[in-house]
Structure 1
Amino acid sequence: MSKTKLSLLSIIEAIEKIERYTKEYSNADDFYHSERDFDATMMQFVIIGEMISKIDETFKTQHSNIPWHKIKGFRNIVAHNYFGIDADEIWEIITLKIKPLKKDIENILD
């Protein structure tokens, strides 16, 4: 299996964990105050960014509909500015952007 495929599968796995960790919450405030689930979710965002850094730039260019660099940049914010994270912003990413990303990656894998 190629390094790219393994990275994409790892991203899917991380997204599925985010979905599990956040499914019982209906808003950013409740999610943020669940220390374990919030922290676990942030770790999965870091993993997604790490996996993106392992993907070849040519591949990313071929699949430019995915904002690879923006996602990687978000990983850096989570990893280096953890205490400055805005829970509402995280919640918006979880509720609006994570499912489309998962679908895009699944389409690539198909």
Structure 2
Amino acid sequence: MSNDARNVDILEHIIKYCDEIYKTIEYFGNSFEIFKANSIYRNAVSMCILQIGELSGHLSDSFKEMHNGVPWKNIKGMRNFIAHKYGDISISTVWEAVSDDVPKLRDYCNSILRKYRVLEQPALEEKNGR
């Protein structure tokens, strides 16, 4: 798998976890008070954030440098904090990430994927003899 293909695959998985967070919010409700009171809600969202951070660490350095519209290092840092200091994490910090950062990350990843798909189209047409 080429580096570009690997990065695209990782972005698709990041978007999948962003979508899981949206589904979790729909299921439990878009309320900080509910989030604060429900450990199942917090755990489900935190697991998705952890996975997003883990995946972001597997993007190539050149990809992250070229697509620096989100703080990849901070995303990985949030993963590390959740994984290693979960009991110390601020519930409001996680909620802020879910409310503000995850939608921005999802939109940013989708915009990158759209660009890659546009660039991929002529190569596929050429490969298929069109």
TM-score by length of 1: 0.92
Structure 2: runs of 5+ lacking an equivalent: 115-130
Post-superposition, which runs of at least 4 consecutive aligned residues in structure 1 deviate over 6 A?
none
Corresponding residue to 1:17 among 12, 20, 25: 20
Structure 1: runs of 5+ lacking an equivalent: none
Separation in 1, partners of 2:89, 2:112? 30
1:108 corresponding residue in structure 2: 112
1:48 corresponding residue in structure 2: 52
Corresponding residue to 1:70 among 58, 71, 74: 74
2:10 corresponding residue in structure 1: 7
- CA drift of 1:53 comes to 1.0
Separation in 1, partners of 2:47, 2:112? 24
Does structure 2 conserve the Cα–Cα contact (< 8 Å) formed by 1:14 and 1:47? yes
| Structure 1 vs Structure 2 CA RMSD | 1.3
Identity %: 27
- CA drift of 1:25 comes to 2.8
